[in-house]
Structure 1
């Protein structure tokens, strides 16, 4: 009996050794077995942090508070993490940082090149691309703001009056609409250099990519069209006629839908991205300047600069469900990634209105 057990053990040892050598050969691709070495065990990759639960948005938001953020806050963008809101203060020449956990200003970042107008984040949140121009049209640039140091690390010359840009999903390129030249500057984010220009309809204001990145939609202000750009070839596929003075665009988070505000028509146009046809036109407040979606996609929000309101639009009914008073001259609207709070810049009273959008 003892001899039999010993034989089994010996066989298992031989088989185990052969398996070890075979696996080692497979891993290394070596034709001959190398001398075994101690196994190196790599630590497991850290699990990504779970995404915060997205709030169910409500048809009638409530005002949470008003926060002073310095003179001429023209545009607000929320970091991908949701931890900070960054505000372009035009004539003050700074970008103001608000801690969204406590809703207090924690920093002001000088923009030496000129008045900051619009802010676009890189997907990882480490860079903000600051559109910079003045009323005299003597300054036209994009500043690169490093959010780890809160400083401008590069300035890229572009064409006159760069409006709101957008970064590709892989973070490799930045597309910036140049209002006065009817072009889009394509910038390599690794080198911070313009690599090409795309001709579009006159006076492009806003650009946003679809979720798969294959298309971009551009609001062309004085042309009364929204351009549809093929990002593989950087060519315009079509132009969608909308109402007067399209100012900004917003891609729906899940549906094949793009919304744009028409500044001089006081309306929102909804475009089906499968057909590039207008499916609804919705009246809103006077001179809407910006539009964004709730993260759950149930509502769109507009900042109506000349009647001091924000409009709330239901995507299901394609109608306004609420009109919310803001500060003086609301110019932009940003929403936290969890959908609970909205931030509206009030240009003429130096404040941001915070709205409770869901829970």
Structure 2
């Protein structure tokens, strides 16, 4: 049960730590650098620090232009003027430290710069020094050691995370002038190596990029430029893809139009054949009717025409008789009224 208890207490400490607000109680003995990240930590929250009287007070200075933890529109503590620095505790601005004085990890800005600061200052933005001053092994120094001279080296192991998981990233720093590095074995300043030379650490290469193969690679901060032919090939590929797509769509749509046109033509041919069959049937029926005797007048119709008028019989209402009409409409047999000799229907 002891390991579980320790895990529980550790988790509780991580959750509750750094949450004490202004006026709360704190202990300076809890102030430390976090393992792996080396970020400063104390019992107080992000806007206060742990004073010597065991109380969290508002921070009196800041080292960053935009400090973490402050709300939008909140009043920020002041930045320290030239010649002073704001420590990790951020309690108050202090005068820069002379060479040999104790300093905090990676706080080169806490050290007083040398007289020839402009000559020794790091202009590569690689964190080699600040105005020619460097804090190594918690001691202020000047980065003025030249080739062949003895130097001081500081190796700091950070916890990093990559695609394969957690790994250790060792950062090695020295007090050699810019363009040289402090060899960890010989503890002497040596010239940085050119592209393709064998190496064991990034600091040995002028490009600060020692490849996994053990040779100095290209500087990763330099933008990669490609030849003009690459742009030409890309442009051809883009326009070729556009015109190829348009041409393919044109062919596809034309094929679809041809298919639809063929369907309409087939439909027209079927309808025309059907119409021709109807006309042929009408003509056949008319020819059959015209082939009857008396031009289609049957004996029955003749009998009705020659029947005598009965006395006192009611007059016929219409006097219709069979009549064959052969007009241009080919409508076949039609029933039309006939006019008698006496003018009556």
Which TM-score band (shorter chain)?
under 0.3
Which one has the bigger helix percentage? 2
Which one has the bigger strand percentage? 1
Q: Which has the higher contact order (CA 8 A, sep 6+)?
A: 1
| Structure number with bigger Rg | 2
TM-score, normalization by structure 1: 0.22
